[in-house]
Amino acid sequence: MKRKSSIFFSGGLLLMAGLVFTGCGGKDDPAPENKKMTMKVTVTVAGADSQDQVDFSVEAGNHDASQYGSPVWKINGVTQGNEDHILFDIDNFVGGTKTYVFETIKTFNFGHLNVSVVNNTEVPTPVIISYKTEIDGNVETNVANVATASGQSYNKNYTYQPK
């Protein structure tokens, strides 16, 4: 009788061990989606002078290192180097109205737009900015004619992901 109990006990342990190591069967967890998007940002600045601070920063990337070593952005149709982050500052916007179009060359997992304006001049002329972001051809952000008066500032940060 003792021998039957120990066989049943040993068999039960083996059965439990087998279940623990193999799990419940069924499907494995699904792999996370790796959605990608294109990004296009158009910025326009008017009324800026060399005393002001105007910064537009665009960034795009993937959840792996696949964006490194190849071009990421076009600016006004001209392919840039392999920079995943582009910063345009006051030097790019002094002297009349300036418009730039930043476009990703391929698809990415995420993107960012950072906007910062500080009107440092004592002249009562405002710095006027407009910017629009399109994700996969659809307008996500559209800000027009924001006037930043002398002594004032304007800051916005946006994050974009594929839908």
| pLDDT tens column, 36-51 | 999 999 999 999 999 9
What is the arithmetic mean of pLDDT over 2-13? Answer: 48
Closest to 110 in 3D by CA, of 158, 162, 70: 162
Q: 110 and 161 in contact (C-beta within 8 Å)?
A: yes
pTM for the full model? Answer: 0.78
Closest to 55 in 3D by CA, of 117, 126, 130, 143: 117
Say which CATH topology domain 39-160 has: Lipoxygenase-1 (2.60.60)
Alpha-carbon distance of 81 to 101, in angstroms, equals 16
**Is residue 5 over pLDDT 50?**
no
Of the pLDDT bands very low, low, confident and very high (cuts 50, 70, 90), residue 157 is: very high
pLDDT of residue 81: 87
**Is residue 16 over pLDDT 70?**
no
Q: What angle do CA 72, 99, 78 make, to 5 degrees?
A: 35
pLDDT of residue 90: 93
pLDDT of residue 38: 97
Alpha-carbon distance of 25 to 18, in angstroms, equals 12
Alpha-carbon distance of 93 to 26, in angstroms, equals 59
| pLDDT tens column, 56-105 | 999 999 998 877 788 899 999 999 988 889 999 999 999 878 999 999 99
